[in-house]
Amino acid sequence: MANDLKQHTNTLRDITQSGGEASIAAQLVEVERNDTQTMQTIRSPLVITINKSAAYALYELTYIRDVAFKPGELYVKTRKCELDASSDVVEMCERLRDESCHIIEHTQLKGKPNTTHCLRFPGDWFHVFGIGKRSLGFNVRIEVKKGSSISAVDVGPENRTVISDDNFLRVNLVGDFAGYTSIPSFEDFYLVTPRLNVNAEQPQDLGTDFSRWMLLERVRFTLDGLECNKIGVGYEAYSTQPDFCTSPLWSCLHNQLRDFWEADVPSALWT
């Protein structure tokens, strides 16, 4: 993966089905003289080995925001639902405060007959990335063995002309596997990955827990948190939802990350 992507923080690599690994080896024992067109045997034959990596696609990733894996609606049985009720009355639904002790807007309780409700975000959080420009990547390693010495270079789309450290070998890449044109596009999707650093403004390390990475359509997200039943739902959407008193539990909190995860993964793999 790469890091220097202007406003982008990472790249996503996808091994393509059409560009598997390949290798070839050959021994050069004769050369043709330009002046006489006669063949001349090389005293120390050269062994040339070429190894090509699998072709892969690189995608630019733009960090968007973090979202909760499973928002939860909590409730307490009580008739005392004043906004400033203390925790001994409303328990976990006491309104929240930030690090400066200021009340976080829309975190206060919502009253129904005999119960008090609130939105909270327990458990895991995930990073959300937009998937943008894509390009093809691969690596070709060329080694030339002469006697006991070996000269080697690596070429690819970003280093098309390379000279070995001993100046014996110079390689120009004249083809770039342009035939692989079926690189998938994910511009209508977001990538979500488990959050590793709570305070990361631009996550640099996405971790290796690939089993929990998810690709989901952008329409399933609310980036400002103002829509119910979408990934990223916030306090305001929950607090201002219509017909709250007659709505069933979790009425604003469907279609969250865990819902899609559970629909995709056998029940034995999650708790």
pLDDT digits (tens, 9 = 90+) for 161-179: 999 999 999 999 886 555 5
**88 part of a folded domain:** yes
What's residue 88's pLDDT? 60
Structural domain that includes position 76: 63-129+188-269
**181 part of a folded domain:** no
- What is the pLDDT of the chain when averaged over all its residues? 82
Q: How many domains does the chain have?
A: 2
What's residue 221's pLDDT? 98
Answer whether 0.75 is exceeded by the pTM: no
Residues 119 and 149 reside in one and the same domain: no
User: Residue 232 contacts by C-beta under 8 Å, 6 or more apart in sequence?
Assistant: 65, 67, 128, 221, 222, 223, 225
Mean pLDDT is lowest, of 33-42, 125-134, 221-230, 256-265, for 33-42
Residues 111 and 148 reside in one and the same domain: no
Burial status of residue 171 (CB atoms within 10 A of its CB: 0-12, 13-18, 19 or more): buried
Using 50, 70 and 90 to split pLDDT, how confident is the model at 2? very low
What's residue 124's pLDDT? 93
Residues 224 and 243 reside in one and the same domain: yes
Higher pLDDT pick, 17 / 84: 84
pLDDT digits (tens, 9 = 90+) for 152-163: 999 988 888 999
Residues 82 and 57 reside in one and the same domain: no
> What CA–CA distance (Å, rounded) separates 204 from 196?
10
What's residue 6's pLDDT? 31
